Structure 1
Amino acid sequence: MAVYGYHRTSTADQHLDRGIKAINDYCIANNIKIDEMFTDQKTGKNFNRPDYQALKRIAKNKSDIIIISEVDRLGRNKEETLKELQHYKALGVRLMILEIPTTLVDYSTMESSLASMLMETINNMLIEMYATIAHAEMIKREKRQAEGIQTMKDRGEWDKYGRPAAIDYDKFKKEYGKVQAGHIKPFELINQLGMAKSTYYKYAKQVKDELYTKEVCTV
């Protein structure tokens, strides 16, 4: 038996610390040793996440345990989330969800088969309910975003707000020094320069690669 933790945030700007701490605190309080912690900073709309896929490949033995803080940290798409839960159930892998206390009870050790069946039924109902809520929140957020974009398009402002202009790399490199020095956060620089997040991370990687190459050449 192996125990794995999993936590996800939607973007790289969001911190993983809170969810990881919740899982670690629970394990310490219940004398559970985590063999490995997996984390992703990707959208919960699908399961094409590197660490999640690595977890799925390794958590396949009967009695293995996966601990997550909330259902929506696993995924926000109800149908896809339920498929993943069914996948683990078929393998005999147990999912423990901190926001659903009944999933933390080891019903497999109950003497009464009726009691364990009722507990499993309750868990399945609660998980589906939480997955439904997460899915509804995702749909609502996407609807609001689409409406907001359409409103900006109707006002002729979409080019200004929806498509940040490309910024000169040399200018970015100069300003990025503030992030490296810890004076400002990445999202603050993104807002200041009015650039896309994808461009920010591409340029930031380029700066780090240049610095690494320079250090190697001077050794």
Structure 2
Amino acid sequence: MTLVRAYLRASTKEQDASRARADLAKFAQERGLRVAGYYAENESGASLKRPELFRLLTDSEPGDILLVEQVDRLSRLNAADWQRLKAEITGRQVRVVALDLPTSWMLATAERDDVQSRILEAINGMMLDMLAAIARKDYDDRRRRQAQGIEQAKARGEYKGRPEDKERNAAIIKLLEAGQSWRSIAAATGCSMATLSRLAKRLRGDQEAEHVVVA
């Protein structure tokens, strides 16, 4: 029996990676397919550092379906990284089906003869390449516009940087005060080592200030 492994991705912690789960479940149900698992994560599609995606591929058997809502959920990778990911998918004999790519839907239906399968896979591969390239261009365009906007705001003296997540940072400081390791804090909160370093300096500054006041 063909198994579906559904991949759900969002770019930031504030977004809901599982938002499209119902649509993917409906697609599989309508075609009599069983979903073996849902793999959701909040990671950039422009990076290959996506543990859940590679766990999905590790769990997959030849012939399984990797189901996504849109191709850009699978990839916003540059050309070289997209070829690496494609090679991994192809090597595991996993079929990519995307709700926004109708040519891929036939890969989720009944078995075909060898010639039909090869033709369909070739067409679908070309369409995947095209949509992956479009997704990357969209990613690059948005980053370029964002950088231009920041430079313009700086020139006007209006740029203030990203707003601080005060609630998260307060929680991190409490973990630092409790003696938790930086590695465990980063794993639990998703913050970077640079953020931890900055907050640790802030904590030391506050402690030194308290010492001076008490003295």
Same fold (TM over 0.5): yes
In the alignment, which residue of structure 2 is the partner of 1:51? 52
Q: Structure 1 residues 115 and 54, CA, compared in 2 at 3 Å: closer, same or farther?
A: closer
In the alignment, which residue of structure 2 is the partner of 1:65? 65
Q: Structure 1 residues 28 and 206, CA, compared in 2 at 3 Å: closer, same or farther?
A: farther
3-state DSSP of counterpart to 1:51:
helix
Q: Structure 1 residues 76 and 57, CA, compared in 2 at 3 Å: closer, same or farther?
A: same
CA shift at 1:94, angstroms? 1.6
Q: Give the Cα–Cα distance (whole angstroms) in 2 for the partners of residues 201 and 31 of structure 1.
A: 43
- The one-letter code of the counterpart of 1:65 is I
Structure 1 stretches lacking a partner, 5+ long: 164-194, 209-219
Question: So what's the TM-score if we normalise by structure 2?
Answer: 0.70
Q: Give the Cα–Cα distance (whole angstroms) in 2 for the partners of residues 87 and 96 of structure 1.
A: 16
Q: Give the Cα–Cα distance (whole angstroms) in 1 for the partners of residues 169 and 32 of structure 2.
A: 42
In the alignment, which residue of structure 2 is the partner of 1:19? 20
CA-to-aligned-CA distance 1:58-103 (integer Å, 9 cap, x gap): 22x3122211111100121242234212211122112211211221
3-state DSSP of counterpart to 2:66:
strand
Q: Give the Cα–Cα distance (whole angstroms) in 2 for the partners of residues 131 and 201 of structure 1.
A: 34
Counterparts in 2 of 1:88-167, with a 5 A limit? 88-106=89-107, 109-111=111-113, 113-158=114-159, 161-162=160-161
Kept after mapping to 2: 8 A contact 1:74/1:81: no
CA shift at 1:156, angstroms? 2.5
Q: 2:164 aligns with which of 196, 200, 204?
A: 196
Aligned residue pairs: how many?
Answer: 174
Q: Structure 1 residues 116 and 196, CA, compared in 2 at 3 Å: closer, same or farther?
A: same
- The one-letter code of the counterpart of 1:62 is P
Q: Give the Cα–Cα distance (whole angstroms) in 1 for the partners of residues 115 and 29 of structure 2.
A: 31
Kept after mapping to 1: 8 A contact 2:57/2:92: no
Structure 2 stretches lacking a partner, 5+ long: 176-215
3-state DSSP of counterpart to 1:83:
helix
3-state DSSP of counterpart to 1:35:
strand
3-state DSSP of counterpart to 2:20:
helix
Percent of aligned pairs with the same amino acid: 26
In the alignment, which residue of structure 2 is the partner of 1:176? none
Kept after mapping to 2: 8 A contact 1:65/1:94: yes
CA-to-aligned-CA distance 1:102-133 (integer Å, 9 cap, x gap): 2121388323x433322111101110111111
Question: So what's the TM-score if we normalise by structure 1?
Answer: 0.69
Q: Give the Cα–Cα distance (whole angstroms) in 1 for the partners of residues 127 and 9 of structure 2.
A: 21
Q: Give the Cα–Cα distance (whole angstroms) in 1 for the partners of residues 22 and 170 of structure 2.
A: 31
Kept after mapping to 1: 8 A contact 2:12/2:42: yes
Q: Structure 1 residues 128 and 30, CA, compared in 2 at 3 Å: closer, same or farther?
A: same
Kept after mapping to 2: 8 A contact 1:78/1:134: no
